[in-house]
Structure 1
């Protein structure tokens, strides 16, 4: 397929608005998946302090817990942010910009989710394992999350994309999410 300039393009011919609609739909599906996990994790974090075993946490655990709860709250905020963007900008003919900002917020939310997961794992594993082992296991899990959530997608995109149809959100403003 070629564009008006004769250059070969992959994919369908879509207007900017049609592309934004499809990207928005994809993003909503992604957010549905991640928001459920975040809500469960955040609910757990809010109740853990009331568990009998948590009544006498170490000084370090007393520092880790509030940091973890705040990270969970920040994650929730970032992943609900796209809904506010959509609601407040609907009907203003800003769909492409809305999708760009919602994509950025989602990436921020995913980074915060990684931090929340690592912090929650550290808190839990410190209660049942030696501190040094807990730390190594958390670092291993954080590396796993980075591999699954960042390295493999970026590697796949680089390997299978010769020229992107549009700028990427990872490369700067105005970019897309696919």
Structure 2
């Protein structure tokens, strides 16, 4: 395969160099996402041990559990690519690692967005009531969907598939 030019590099980059860079970039992106999900997960775990939680309505407890389940799924999905990378390190599996890790990360981000939206619903319901909670939850959900999924997918569609999935 011919070497491909890349922004920020001098000259061209070989397929192996590109794959190594893509794995490195993916792992760095995962570090950013993991920090947020770990913070959220800790918060959600702590909430269950508060006095207010014991008095929470059934709806509030269900929303909390939904948030915990999706935060847990997000932790699993967002840490899986690091495990794949470590277990397949130097096995010539970078293309497979990137393909699987990309899917796991997108699924992990979807779970993280769901956990965040459920957490917003829970907090706003307790603090501001059901009407305000509904409005803000819908706004937050739309924001996540637009910023994390719709806008990037529209940009990708506008490129008419010019970039390879293993590229940036």
TM bucket by the smaller chain?
0.7 to 0.9
TM-score, with length taken from structure 2: 0.87
The answer to whether the 8 Å contact 2:53/2:61 transfers is: no
The answer to whether the 8 Å contact 2:5/2:12 transfers is: no
Q: CA RMSD in A?
A: 2.1
Match of 2:163 among 165, 168, 175: 165
SS class of match (2:62): helix
TM-score, with length taken from structure 1: 0.83
The answer to whether the 8 Å contact 1:17/1:96 transfers is: no
Distance 1:88 1:154 in 2: 31
Aligned length: 163
The answer to whether the 8 Å contact 1:100/1:177 transfers is: no
> More deviation in 96-105 or 13-22?
13-22
Distance 1:146 1:58 in 2: 28
The answer to whether the 8 Å contact 1:85/1:98 transfers is: yes
- Tell me how far 1:29 sits from its aligned partner: 1.3
- What is the aligned partner in structure 2 of residue 100 from structure 1? 99
- What is the aligned partner in structure 2 of residue 136 from structure 1? 135
SS class of match (1:124): helix
Structure 1 unaligned blocks of 5 or more = 167-174
